């Protein structure tokens, strides 16, 4: 009986949060995923405030009616100003990179920034915080199986800073639920699609495949999602989700080889792909990083990212589909739209 009352109260809180979403804050709102979250909120009639770094490019929300507040998630005062008057906060700001020779900034932003935003939200009476985690913040499954939201993190033998930073920042976010605060986590797969202005490491994969580089691949694979579908899961997490829950925002489990073939198919070409033996892939990644340290430019393949990716990172989105009613578009559509965006901006 007690458990039933707890569930009823959680469902009631979810409905109240959804009905009260008149003003929302999106941190990282000019970024790839954050801008799409902001755009969809505006489309649903929500008044949106975007927290942005001073001087940050604002192309992704050009012509979209949002309030902009400049600030840094590392500043407690900036976070307090940003969350004032909001019913829901979408915390999407993070440092996302597959290569971090000095990960200090990544850990600071992803850890301290997460604590600052959520604690400021709690103090200001914000009803719900939706935290953007990642599939790399939970564990990879055993061979031939699918992971889900509850799979325990296991990549402790690999010093992959982005993965570790997202694991610990998700833990920080979820510690607030231990004290009864309504935090919900969304875990996107590798995000593709239009609007990848930087580009992100996932978008760079498409650009590299179109740049005439040798058509090679190595073992492993991961789970991908369209940026528009990932953003939609964030909104659904408020509308239909429950406090303290995690929801995977991913759809397509694809091997590294199949991903290159999917990109080739989108542009109408067919290449002979060459599989790199793992020792050779490791040697190449080492050489790329030596060059990267000399030039200061990110390597084509980072060693830590390679080691993490050699094991297939596949996931089931059943919980998100069943409980939130999420749907996902075909990966070919996503790739074509991403390529069109990159070409329009002269990036390929």
- Count of structural domains, the chain: 1
Residue 16 within any structural domain of the chain: yes
Quick one: CA torsion of 130, 136, 137, 139, rounded to 10 degrees? 130
Query: pLDDT by residue (tens digit) across 245-256?
Result: 999 999 999 999
Residue 201 within any structural domain of the chain: no
Residue 324 within any structural domain of the chain: yes
A 10 A CB-CB count for 113 gives: 24
CA 328, CA 175: separation in Å to the nearest integer? Answer: 30
Q: Are 339 and 348 in contact (CB under 8 A)?
A: yes
A 10 A CB-CB count for 91 gives: 29
Residue 35 within any structural domain of the chain: yes
Query: 216-235: b or e for each residue (b if 16 or more CB lie within 10 Å)?
Result: bbbbbbbbbbbbbbbbbbbb
Closest CA to 281 of 301, 257, 261: 301
Q: Are 118 and 177 in contact (CB under 8 A)?
A: no
CATH number at residue 120: 3.40.50.720
Residue 107 within any structural domain of the chain: yes
Q: What pTM, to 2 d.p., does this model score?
A: 0.91
pLDDT tens, per residue, the chain with 348 residues: 333 443 434 444 444 444 458 999 999 999 999 999 999 999 999 999 999 999 999 999 999 999 999 999 999 999 999 999 999 999 999 999 888 999 999 999 999 999 999 999 999 999 999 999 999 999 999 999 999 999 999 999 999 999 999 999 999 999 999 999 999 999 999 999 999 998 988 888 888 888 777 788 899 999 999 999 999 999 999 999 999 999 999 999 999 999 999 999 988 888 889 999 999 999 999 999 999 999 988 898 899 999 999 999 999 999 999 999 999 999 999 999 999 999 999 988
Joined together, the tokens standing for residue 29 give: 């709102």
CA-CA-CA-CA torsion sign (121, 123, 124, 128): positive
Residue 136 within any structural domain of the chain: yes
CA atoms within 13 A on the CB side of 123: 14
Residue 145 within any structural domain of the chain: yes
Residue 305 within any structural domain of the chain: no
Q: Which domain holds residue 116?
A: 2-193+225-251+315-329
């Amino acid at each position: 009986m007690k458990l039933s009352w707890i569930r009823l109260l959680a469902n009631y809180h979810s409905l109240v949060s959804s009905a009260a979403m008149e003003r929302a804050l999106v941190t990282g709102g000019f970024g790839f995923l954050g801008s799409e979250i902001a755009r969809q909120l505006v489309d649903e009639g929500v008044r949106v405030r975007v927290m942005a770094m001073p001087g940050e490019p604002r192309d992704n929300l050009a012509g979209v009616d949002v309030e902009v507040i400049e600030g840094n998630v590392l500043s407690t005062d900036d976070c307090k100003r940003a969350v004032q008057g909001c019913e829901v906060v979408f915390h999407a700001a993070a440092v996302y990179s597959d290569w971090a020779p000095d990960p200090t900034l990544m850990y600071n932003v992803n850890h301290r920034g997460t604590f600052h935003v959520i604690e400021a939200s709690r103090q200001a009476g914000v009803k719900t915080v939706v935290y953007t985690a990642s599939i790399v913040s939970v564990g990879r499954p055993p061979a031939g199986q699918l992971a889900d939201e509850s799979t325990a993190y296991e990549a402790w033998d690999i010093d992959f800073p982005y993965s570790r930073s997202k694991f610990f920042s998700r833990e920080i976010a979820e510690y607030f639920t231990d004290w009864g605060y309504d935090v919900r986590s969304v875990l996107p797969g590798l995000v593709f699609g239009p609007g990848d202005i930087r580009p992100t490491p996932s978008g760079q994969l498409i650009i590299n495949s179109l740049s005439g580089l040798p058509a090679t691949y190595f073992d492993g694979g991961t789970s991908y999602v369209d940026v528009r579908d990932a953003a939609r899961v964030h909104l659904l997490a408020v509308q239909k989700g429950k406090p303290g829950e995690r929801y995977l925002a991913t759809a397509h489990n694809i091997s590294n080889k199949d991903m290159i073939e999917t990109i080739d198919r989108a542009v109408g070409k067919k290449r002979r792909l060459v599989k790199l033996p793992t020792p050779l892939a490791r040697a190449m990644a080492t050489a790329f990083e030596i060059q990267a340290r000399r030039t200061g430019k990110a390597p084509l393949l980072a060693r830590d990212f390679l080691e993490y990716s050699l094991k297939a990172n596949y996931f089931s989105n059943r919980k998100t589909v069943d409980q939130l009613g999420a749907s996902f578009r075909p990966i070919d559509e996503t790739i074509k739209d991403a390529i069109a965006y990159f070409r329009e901006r002269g990036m390929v």
